Amino acid sequence: MAIKMATVVLDNGAGLAKVGYSTDKNPRLMPNCITKAKSVRTRTFIGDQIDDCKDLSGLFYLLPFQKGYLVNWETQRQIWDYMFGKDGLKVDLHDSNIIVTEPYFNFHSVQEAMDEIFFEEYQFNSVFRCNPSFLSQYKHCKEKDQKPLCSIVLDAGYSFTHIIPYCKGKKLAECTKRIDVGGKVMTNHLKEVISYRQLMVMDETYVLNQLKEDVCYVSQDFMKDMEIGRKKGKENTIARDYVLPDYTHIKRGYVKPLEETTGRAKDGEQIIRMNNERFTIPELLFHPSDVGIHEMGVAEAVVHTIQSLPEEMQPHMYNNVILTGGNCKMPGFYSRMERETRSMTPDEYDLCMKKPENPSTYAWEGGTMLAKDPQIKKMSVTREEYEENGHNICFEKFDV
């Protein structure tokens, strides 16, 4: 192989797919869905084509993933076709390799279908399939001067939050934990709360997701913030007015600054008053039992996972906690996570948490580094190997 082949890195998230060549600095962020708008009856929007849509109210979603697993292949194929095609990366499929992520504890049938699509339909030259946390811990190890023995990745994604321990680059699958709270649960809960208290918004997933990203934050002292939220007038420093888009004059919703927050709409505006919703929604990550999900919060689960490991691994794990996934971008998440985890960590251990600059794209960045590693050839399955040995070689080689 004299010529250097292009490698595509695809972090195929259930909410947001991150895709690009290993030589790119940043990935292309693409909503992993097909959308239909009420205002445009004649057209469907694939992935980031939604940016062309003028009216984003009452969107209808076709999602390839349900409850964290890839079930809707037709939809996913259309998105991948767009991604690799002339409007996307313009991939020369025969002469390209791909590094692609898949969900934790993925089903064999889904893995087989995935291999079939990449090898038989797209005919990629070689495929490497792994979990996003593998790429995150790979990047973390490469960036440290002294390579850590163990690390633990918190992946707070769209469908779930996973906690995955690694030792010497191998995933400890039997100690992996899952919490059934992700970005989707929080957005849906926000829709229900606002529909019940103020305004019927059950169809406005897109707008409410923007609202969640614009105004929600993780409280450092939940009870104190609840007290402030009960106050009236100027004493309440938490309440904010969020102006909803009308798609004629206001193209995107925005938060009014504190001094302009009165709770009353000006002429022609439609507002949602965000008070304690700002911090009670992200609180679900730390207390899933608030909405009847009887599981541990994220900080407790990290400590619980580490404590279930052999004692000699534990100090290494506490020293290399990596926070990834879109929910880690919430203001206040990192400091709350560190404080809560520290309070449960034995005193004799140091705690060191890594918060990447962009937690959403951290795994993708790890993929671009892995693509340049000479070891990737041994880890991948080539098209010839697949044609000769079928699915079995993929099950042998890929640690998922």
Which residue segment(s) compose the domain that 305 sits in? Answer: 145-181+292-354
* Residue 198 maps to a domain: yes
The CA distance from 305 to 341, in Å, is 12
* Residue 187 maps to a domain: yes
The CA distance from 355 to 374, in Å, is 28
Q: Same domain for 325 and 371?
A: no
What value does the mean pLDDT of the chain take? Answer: 87
DSSP 210-248: HHHHHH----SSHHHHHHHHH--GGG--S-EEEEPP-SS
Q: Same domain for 170 and 298?
A: yes
The confidence band for 2, taking pLDDT boundaries of 50, 70 and 90, is very low
The CA distance from 207 to 187, in Å, is 10
Average pLDDT, integer, range 54-82: 89
Q: Which 3 state secondary structure label does DSSP give 308?
A: coil
Q: Same domain for 113 and 259?
A: no
Q: Looking at the 3D structure of the chain, how many domains does it have?
A: 3
- Among 283, 305, 323, the domain-final residue is 283
Q: Same domain for 256 and 189?
A: yes
Q: Same domain for 105 and 34?
A: yes
Nearest to 156 by CA among 2, 307, 355, 392: 355
* Residue 139 maps to a domain: no
pLDDT at position 38 is: 83
Q: Same domain for 154 and 226?
A: no
Angle (CA) 307 311 317, round 5°? 65
* Residue 140 maps to a domain: no
Q: Same domain for 257 and 322?
A: no
Q: What is the CATH number of the domain that holds 66?
A: 3.30.420.40
Q: Same domain for 333 and 387?
A: no
Query: Number of C-alpha atoms within 13 angstroms, CB side, residue 3?
Result: 6
Identify residue 129 by its one-letter amino acid code: R
Percent of the chain with pLDDT over 90: 27
* Residue 1 maps to a domain: no
Average pLDDT, integer, range 103-109: 89
Q: Same domain for 15 and 115?
A: yes
The CA-based dihedral angle spanning residues 316, 318, 322, 323, taken in that order and rounded to the nearest 10 degrees: 170
pLDDT at position 4 is: 58
Is 3's pLDDT higher than 60? Answer: no
Q: Same domain for 201 and 311?
A: no
Which tens digit of pLDDT belongs to each residue from 317-345?
A: 898 899 999 899 999 999 999 999 999 98
Which tens digit of pLDDT belongs to each residue from 166-221?
A: 988 888 888 889 999 999 999 999 999 999 998 898 888 888 898 999 999 999 99
Percent of the chain with pLDDT over 70: 99
- Among 266, 283, 300, the domain-final residue is 283
Q: Alpha-carbon torsion 29, 33, 34, 40, what sign?
A: negative
Query: Number of C-alpha atoms within 13 angstroms, CB side, residue 249?
Result: 6
pLDDT at position 37 is: 86
The CA distance from 64 to 182, in Å, is 17
Q: Same domain for 47 and 119?
A: yes
Residue with the larger pLDDT of the pair 267 and 253: 253
The confidence band for 1, taking pLDDT boundaries of 50, 70 and 90, is very low
Q: Radius of gyration of the chain from Cα atoms?
A: 22
* Residue 310 maps to a domain: yes
Q: What is the CATH number of the domain that holds 274?
A: 3.90.640.10
Rounded to the nearest 5°, which phi and psi values hold at 84? -90, -10
Least confident of 102-111, 188-197, 245-254: 245-254
Is 390's pLDDT higher than 90? Answer: no
Q: Same domain for 30 and 125?
A: yes
* Residue 109 maps to a domain: yes
DSSP 11-70: EE-SSEEEEEETT-SSPEEEESSEEE-SS-TT-EEEGGGGGG-S--TT-EEE-SEETTEE
pTM value > 0.75: yes
Which tens digit of pLDDT belongs to each residue from 256-299?
A: 888 887 777 787 788 888 888 999 999 999 999 888 889 999 99
